[in-house]
Structure 1
Amino acid sequence: MITQSSPFPQLPEYQADGMAVFMEPIAGSGERICVAVAAQGVDRAYQVVPVVRDETAKCMLGHAGPGFMEMVGLVVRSLEEQLKQGIPLSMWTPPMSGVHSGETRTGRVVDLTMMLRTMARNSAFLSRMADFTADDEQETPVSDRWLTQVKEAMAVNHPDLVCNFSRKLQLYNGGSPTTFDYVGGNYAAQLSRILPGNSLSTYNRVAKAKMWELISLRDKGHSGLFELEGFELILYRPGKNDPSFSESEINRVYEVFHELEEEADTQALRIHGVASPESAVQHILMGEAA
């Protein structure tokens, strides 16, 4: 018997529901933007992620941006709490007025991340705003929000170490002081990040510059000028399952990350990747304790 194969690819076996969450920037205005997406599998596994970044909220709302992101966080936690109890996605009740759940859509996907990316692509323009506005010719500010977030996270449980951030050290006679993101009693670290988009090459250049600053500081330590034991570049990069970016964008970020690791290896310097301010703080504490 001759069996005619289907011209269409076979659908994935895993079934999941996806939903977008919308919020009114001005309560009662009727205007809505997508602030989060959620996915729930047939096995009751779930994931909820915000799709508006801190930088985007600040650009749109100015000083009101952080407050808006706090409300987004509240919405995300509310939905996570319900899904944790095994309640279907479509039965979620928003925790405040001005928040609306979108239509629940069912599909066959490889995993929850695939569903999240699909929902973000179809519902959340702001999750890709950086791709439309980034300018690869513009330098990314060194003193960005990432360093501030790590400093704030350190202040929660170890306020005595906050004074070690943004320290200026003069490495060469007659030269200008170099700012180091963290220099403690035993450990020094530079904090940088790499993000998908048109500015990836700029982030790469900034990370390399910080890496060579650390090497210079370490070399001065060998001469007895600075008595430190550990030197590391702590590099933020999105998680591999971050639905705010496409799989190809994430893959390119990790290619750059590994290229930086290889360059650091030639100089006997370590690069440590993190995905949150809290994990960066924990690594700094480990470096100080070593």
Structure 2
Amino acid sequence: MYFFHKDKRKKVCIRDKKDKEIFYIIRFNKKEGLLSMFFKTMAYVEFAEEKGYIPIIDMKNYPTMYTQNENNGWENFFSQPNNLDIDLKEIYTNKNYIVSGFEDNPNVFINSSLFGGYFASNYFNNIQKKHFIESHFMLNGEIYKMIEEEMKQIDIKNKLGVFIRGTDYTSLKPKSHPIQPTFDVLKNKIDDFIFKYREIDGIYLVTEDLKLYQQFKEAYGDFITMSYESNLIEYKGGQLLYSTLKNKDKVLQGREYLVRIMLLSKCRYLITSITNGSVCALAFNGDQYKDTYIFDLGLY
């Protein structure tokens, strides 16, 4: 059975009205990025639990770019909510369930107390977000190993974390997305932090843009540290980044990006623009940074 609202539809299957156990199947658009899906998942899980549903993420029957060999792509990165071990086939065959729509349901993303609303205006309440995330999810074991390996190479504890987007984000200026600071504006703020906090022993940089990285290296030399430098992109302009990366291993890319965000969340200080990645880093950190500066410059 489907419920229709305007041009949207939501699949509902209630086999046993006496059984109050209802699974809430969370699905996503194929082209959606990992941390966009992560942020939305938190809102969906919060919504489902408020309704008394059991939330489950399905990237197998509703594949995304992170689904490989018909696996559940979500589990390449995280456990299921509340670490449940669930057989999707059993749910679809024998259980009561509701499938979320691809659209951003206003009941979820406006009314949700922690993760609702547009991510660009939702970078507060990070202590509560960290507690929610840690009480509901575990990282995939491979990602734990990757984090440990990176932290053997990088002493993160006195680093200034810096996050900045470039490539298509600044070239195409996507409407209603957060405006990114220029390199010079960002550098001025970094210099302020380095002067103020003398214990800063380096900058941990997270960016995808080769040109930005080269500007940082020219300005700061070996004071700059990065993970997975080989992933930097020499952007030619004119098209969305997604279309230029479609032949690369999306799971590996996603894991390496998640590792960078997790290391960013472990720095002592943070200077960042607003994107899904920085919002997630703030949530993973739980307001434990000694000082933070967020460039909230409005929207394109």
Task: Give yes or no for TM over 0.5.
Answer: no
Instruction: Name the TM-score, length of structure 2 as normaliser.
Output: 0.32
Instruction: Name the TM-score, length of structure 1 as normaliser.
Output: 0.33
Does 1 or 2 have the higher relative contact order (CA < 8 Å, sep 6+)?
2
Larger Rg belongs to: 1
Greater strand share, 1 or 2? 1
